[in-house]
Amino acid sequence: MGIERVARGTLAGASTVPTDEGIAPAAPVFETVRLNDPPAWTTDATVYEVYVRTFSDAPEGERLAAIADRVPEIAEMGIDTLWLTPVLEHDGRPHGYNITDFFAIADDLGDREDFEALVETAHDQGMRVLFDFVANHTAREHEWFEDAYRNPDSPYRDRFEWQESGEPGTYFDWEYIANLDHANLTVRRHLLDVVDEWAPLVDGFRCDMAWAVPDSFWRELRDRVKAMDREFLLMDETIPYIPDFHEGMFDVHFDATLYFQLRQVGRGAAAAESVLDAIDQRAEIGFPDHAGFLQYIENHDETRYRVECGDAAAAAAGAATFTLPGVPMVYAGQEIGQRGRRDAIAWEHAREAVRDRYERLLATRDAHPALGPAGDLTRVTTTSRAATSRSSRSSPAETSTPTTWWRSRGATTTRRSSSSSTSRRPPRASRSTSPTPTATS
């Protein structure tokens, strides 16, 4: 574990102090921090994924504005972080991960002004925004690749990986992307220019296909963004997660292990207590206790949980993501009972009972620090109603069969305000200035 002394100003804010020999500069005050600590605000953050092209039924060119219109409603639920799927110019496939221009907002969504307005709206609502950063590849319609593919002597040829067949390097036989060669310094400079373009506008990156990009690039990127803002979040999509990725690269990690186990429980293929095994695995394979994990039951790559496992299982699994230690995520539509994975969100057919359940989960997590970073996790095996209850929560139905439950233990008397500085983004003016990847799915 690395540590660093970070200057936090001078004593009492003074620039000088009196001494026996006159006036001398005040001594700086230092704070010792762990180099790999996630941003403080992530400890009780809640993420909301927006699949940008079907979130609303707005016409092409007005989709970012339509998302902004719904931001206050999302914030009212108690959500404090938006993850937007890719918003850059692309090859026309709706997921947006096949990028043709890393510096331009996609025309079908709006323009840069619309994007900045969306981010500002979120910030005004006390929310943070995550940008979906794609570093592994370009679309085959990217101008570099089009030239390199036609011309073996192209100046862009060495910016891509190539197979012996003459086809570009790729994964899983994906036919619409071309892997970049990160050993090429021009590629690295280009991608770091992309970082410089978008990082100042947002609060973090969700890093697509992080497992496919060299560690050295992520370390360079981390140094770059953390120098601008120590609270900038880096979240990796690596399936399954890799403990080494927490060392000088990423703050929060996709927990596909927990996701898979919750699916197994919902299918009836595993006991509910096995969910705790998924949590224990984090430490067992080498993650430090301060690593962050994104907890979800569905996303834009996966079938909706309730479609596969039913409504009752979906309610229980969703509750688990909010009460187990980690960063819970809601995929847009999950909170209203949406059944289509990437279909237009059926806002007019929202299931109010489902929405109410998620609002109560958010409120409960906010009200009880034991459900956040202040809580511990303990296995409790019992047959009695009284012993299975959790503080400030209703007990499950009594059972005569021994059942393993989980319980958080921690501070229970202090209520966090919904405007807590650790769970809400600070006003923009105060911000510091100093395995199923998704490429073609």
pLDDT tens-digit readout, 270-279 = 999 999 999 9
> Which member of 237, 251, 298, 366 is catalytic?
237
* Residues 228, 318 within the same domain: yes
* Residues 234, 285 within the same domain: yes
Assess if residue 147 is contained within a domain.
no
Q: Is the pLDDT of residue 130 over 70?
A: yes
406-439 residue pLDDT tens: 444 443 333 233 333 333 344 333 333 334 444 4
The predicted structure's pLDDT at residue 19: 61
237 is catalytic: yes
- CATH number of the domain where residue 264 is located: 3.20.20.80
C-alpha–C-alpha distance, residues 242 and 239, integer Å: 8
Q: What are the structure tokens assigned to 357, written together? A: 């359940």
**Domain extent for 129:** 36-136+180-375+410-430
Q: What are the structure tokens assigned to 300, written together? A: 């834009």
Q: Is the pLDDT of residue 84 over 80?
A: yes
* Residues 87, 201 within the same domain: yes
292-319 residue pLDDT tens: 999 999 999 999 999 999 999 999 999 9
> Which member of 44, 141, 203, 208 is catalytic?
208
Residue-averaged pLDDT of the chain:
85
* Residues 21, 47 within the same domain: no
Lowest-confidence region among 47-51, 99-103, 135-139, 398-402:
398-402
The predicted structure's pLDDT at residue 25: 67
Assess if residue 76 is contained within a domain.
yes
C-alpha–C-alpha distance, residues 398 and 287, integer Å: 36
The predicted structure's pLDDT at residue 409: 43
